[in-house]
Amino acid sequence: MPDHYHLDPVFKPVLLAGQTARLMRSVSSFVDVRVKAVFPLGVHRHDFGTLTAASLALDDTHLDMGTGELAQYRYVVRGAFEIHLQHPGGVDQYRTGGSNKSNRTEAFRIGEMEPALEPDQAQAQWMLSQFYVLEEETPRFDLYPFIPLAAAVEAYVDFYGIGYALEKLKDGQGLVTIWVNGRPSGDSLT
């Protein structure tokens, strides 16, 4: 297992070359892999357009990877709006049993932050923005402008990435479990 927690404030690879992992798409869908290589993806600034109201289920196919590749991303919101991640499309990543993504006071979203003014909150958002894209499993984003809006908001998001070249292993050989699509659920404790 890697010697660091996967939500470390420093953005570093969750896996290193030679390590193995079980990449979970759902409770019953997974693939065991060995990392052949780790490589930087750099920064991709995506323009989601001008927001005058909420925009739902927007994708960014620039985040898709090639066959046998995985990407580890974090992002920074560049504008007066918030993001709610769906990955896969239709599966809310930021949620609890009582959350409502359409209601700002009940939602879990990541918004623009000024690191100099709110360094702890900015660092927490940086860590919590992490997600993975396996091959061409495009994530979807719901964007919500801050209210009230004086004018339309330009919606830019900077995506920072680390890429992995993978080889498939036989089932049962993945050492570390990583949810790359969807999210785990617990069992009833009563």
Does 102 reside within a domain? yes
The backbone torsions φ and ψ at residue 122, rounded to the nearest 5 degrees and listed phi first, read -65, -40
Does 117 reside within a domain? yes
Instruction: Report the predicted TM-score, pTM, of the whole model to 2 decimal places.
Output: 0.85
- Number of domains comprising the chain: 1
Does 178 reside within a domain? no
Does 96 reside within a domain? yes
Does 20 reside within a domain? no
- Chain mean position to CA 63: 10
Q: Which residues contact 7 (CB under 8 A, 6 or more apart)?
A: 127, 128, 130
Burial of 73 (0-12, 13-18, 19+ CB in 10 A): buried
- What integer pLDDT is reported at residue 59 of this predicted model? 87
Per-residue pLDDT of the chain (190 residues; tens, 9 = 90+): 344 445 566 788 999 999 999 998 877 888 999 999 999 998 999 999 888 888 888 888 999 999 999 999 999 998 888 888 887 766 667 666 666 666 655 667 888 877 777 778 888 888 888 899 999 988 888 888 876 565 678 899 999 999 999 999 987 776 778 877 766 666 666 6
- Chain mean position to CA 121: 18
- Which tokens go with 155? 């919606």
Q: Distance between CA atoms of 120 and 170, rounded to whole angstroms?
A: 42
Does 32 reside within a domain? no
Q: Domain span at residue 88?
A: 44-159
| Alpha-helical segments (H) within the chain | 119-128
Does 67 reside within a domain? yes
Does 15 reside within a domain? no
